[in-house]
Amino acid sequence: MSKLRYFFLVIASTLLLTSCFEFVEEIKLREDGSGQATFTLNLSRSKTKLASIMLLDSVNGYKVPSKIDIREGVRKMLTKIKATKGISNVKHELDFEEFILSVSCDFQSVENLNQVLINFSSKKQIAQLKKHRHFSFDKGKRLFKRSHHFDIAREFRKAKKDDQQIFESASFTGVYRFDEAVAKASNSLAKIAKSKKAVLLRVKAADIISNKQTIKNTIQLQN
């Protein structure tokens, strides 16, 4: 676990060197509750700056991770994900030209995705994750929920002023696809596709931090 924590420190140190990044979450949910998930960290808007930074040992007091560090961290992360019950077909793409990391997998239930998060969490965080599950799907009610347990605004206030700048141009994008038509979505920023079988949610990190917006969303499918 110490090596896995190191990997996340490597990723965090990379983010601290640039304010332009996007986290993309894509969930394809089948009628039986199984599906596919893809999570992408896209730093391409800062690729020129990052390419230069990668040539240095450290910047602003942060150690610059090498490509070897990042590849090894990704390998350990994938090993942990593959060991999670209900998770299969784990794949990844790591692009050092565009600075994009993408991880995808199949799941038998969205609870398997919650378990992945638990497997990477501390004992203190696990209790919160079990209480505030990030993903849930009620087959009977045809109700999919995306939540989270992080108090991002509080953690943001704890950060150094220079570190807070990493969120100035950051954003979260959620794409949720279904076999059935979507009846409605609770988040005011959510957009239902013309096909009625997908929901797009894009939120600026700054708006999440200021509590103007949230990534939480409840999607009701048609019965």
Q: Which amino acid is present at 176?
A: Y
Q: How many CB atoms neighbour CB 190 within 10 A? A: 20
pLDDT tens string 82-121: 999 999 999 999 999 998 999 999 999 999 999 999 888 7
Residues ≥6 apart with Cβ < 8 Å to 141 = none
Residue 20 confidence class, pLDDT cut points 50, 70, 90 = confident
pLDDT above 70: residue 192:
yes
Question: What's the whole-model pTM score?
Answer: 0.87
pLDDT for res 188: 96
- Of 171, 168, 151, 156, the closest CA to residue 40 belongs to 171
**Which stretch of 111-120, 150-159, 162-171 has the lowest confidence by average pLDDT?**
150-159
Report d(CA 180, CA 193) in Å as an integer: 12
Query: Rounded to whole angstroms, what are the CA distances from 171 to 21, 41, 99, 103, 129?
Result: 7, 10, 16, 18, 22
Top pLDDT among 220 and 128 is at 220
Looking at residue 45, the DSSP 8-state letter turns out to be G
Report d(CA 50, CA 118) in Å as an integer: 31
Q: How many CB atoms neighbour CB 19 within 10 A? A: 17
Residue 161 confidence class, pLDDT cut points 50, 70, 90 = low
* Residue 121 near residue 202 (C-beta atoms within 8 A): no
Residues of the chain above pLDDT 70, percent: 82
**Which stretch of 53-62, 63-72, 96-105, 166-175 has the lowest confidence by average pLDDT?**
53-62
